Amino acid sequence: MGKSIMVQGTASDAGKSVIVAGLCRIFNQDGLKVVPFKSQNMALNSYITREGFEMGRAQVFQAEAANCEPDVRMNPVLLKPSSDRKSQVIFNGEVLATMDAVDYHEFKPTLANKIKDLYDDLAAENDVVVIEGAGSPAEINLNSRDIANMGMAKLADAPVILVADIDKGGVFAAIYGTIALLEEADRKRVKGIIINKFRGDKALLLPGLEMIEELTHVPVVGVIPYGQFDIEDEDSVALKNVNRQVDVSKDLDVAIVSLTKLSNFTDFKSLELEPDVSVRYIFPGDAVGNPDLLIIPGSKNTLEDRIFLKESGLEKEIHRVRQQGSYVLGICGGYQLLGQTLKDPLKIESTRGTLSGLGLLQVETEFQEVKTTTQVTAHSLSDPTLELEGYEIHMGKTERVGDKAFCEIVETNGVSDSRLDGAVSEDGKVIGTYLHGVFDSSRWRRNFLNNIRLSKGLSPIEEVAMPYKEYKAKEYDKLADLIRENVDMTKIYQIISE
């Protein structure tokens, strides 16, 4: 049975996910077989494995850092909020139910043994499991049924490293308060403290480090400086820091509509690698301007976001952008929104029944109970030499009633296939597809952007950007270097071995 170490945080967004990824990279570099694990993840940013199972995106980039294939067992429970009160509960990669917070809280104990079995399987197959907590372990109103923090640490019998974000302020109060609120047995599990996102001279911090160690009887094993890494964020909380302005030094302005139920925003990270592209997000009240490409992303609730587009005035802006000759692209829920009608007779997404779409593509969508979760390989129909890789996550079935298809899918979950996906308007400037991750295919991405350049009278760029996987690998190495330089890895290994 492999060893384990768990990374918990004093609050959400303390940097747990990134530190877990960095530790996974370090252990892999040191010759260990390592995997990430997070028992419960709440995120709209998900991924489909090679077998067709759905899991949280954070455990995917952690698996990439560990140089291992994403495995649905790394994230047994995924909660995908469908409204302010309810979430779709996905267990071991498949939809289990839709529950409100109270029902799910009562249901959690039934999952504990199943989670432990999945964890034990991973631990038996690997040298080290790096476990990530969720939120804070000091949520004393929820701890009696906890399966994500100390509850998971008990199931795995794992030592805990507590991470605190100094950039938020009040770091010592957060550390002391978190540890003080833990039950005595849980306090004993905390074997080290990491202060994250530090800016300035560490010498000014030393008196505080000594005092917090004396107060908590837990050593500070690292102070990690604020680092700049281009690593995919776990959830749309990261959108608060996204760019909302046009970079006028770039040739192409790509604007992404920030839907209220936006999912899989990581679809667009690879666009930022292109030297001629400015990527920005549009929120209500922002000036849409005159983007060369307007993207409508995925949505966990397409019908509710259809209402949002109308009430926010963004519907009129989308039509204005289309009329001025710009490209418009929709992915998954965005593809559905571009169509003629949205039908929900079974009330899968809402009680709104049937709504009209934006009417920019000749397609119709009907929502169904069965969820499509596939990993696919496809060929562009406009240029069959361009291969696409991506994955599908959707409840609806979309039929073309006009327009041509976008691509031909030739492989689904590792099995040969032949079916058409998506739609393209007659002039080729409105495109819809169910394929998440389509921009990660670098040759297709460059070809698509060159078509936009040509429509503006600009010369195409022949050089294809570095493959996205290779780019991410370099970023994981940079992260590992930063952690090695600022965390006592000898102490970390000691904690694991004990």
Q: List active site positions.
A: 332, 436
Q: Collapse the DSSP code of 27 into the 3-class scheme (helix H, G, I; strand E, B; otherwise coil) and give the result.
A: helix
- What length is written for the chain? 498
> What is the number of other CB atoms lying within 10 angstroms of the CB of residue 86?
17
Q: Which two tokens stand for residue 480?
A: 């590992």
Query: How far is Cα 423 from Cα 460, in angstroms, rounded to an integer?
Result: 25
Query: How far is Cα 135 from Cα 138, in angstroms, rounded to an integer?
Result: 9
Contact at 8 Å (CB) between 154 and 182? no
DSSP string, 110-165: HHHHHHHHHHHHHHHH-SEEEEE--S-TT-TTTGGG-SSSHHHHHHHT--EEEEEE
Contact at 8 Å (CB) between 54 and 89? no
Query: How far is Cα 494 from Cα 479, in angstroms, rounded to an integer?
Result: 21
Query: How far is Cα 486 from Cα 491, in angstroms, rounded to an integer?
Result: 12
Of 47, 123, 130, whose CA–CA distance to 480 is shortest?
130
Angle at 42 between CA 272 and CA 25, to 5 degrees: 55
Query: How far is Cα 254 from Cα 276, in angstroms, rounded to an integer?
Result: 10
3-state secondary structure 49-100: CCCCCEEEHHHHHHHHHCCCCCCHHHCCEEEEECCCCEEEEEECCEEEEEEE
Q: Which two tokens stand for residue 491?
A: 């102490």
Query: How far is Cα 44 from Cα 395, in angstroms, rounded to an integer?
Result: 14
Q: Which two tokens stand for residue 482?
A: 């930063």
Of 444, 127, 389, 142, whose CA–CA distance to 274 is shortest?
444
Q: Give the DSSP H or E segment for 149.
A: none
Handedness of CA 36, 194, 492, 232 (dihedral sign): positive
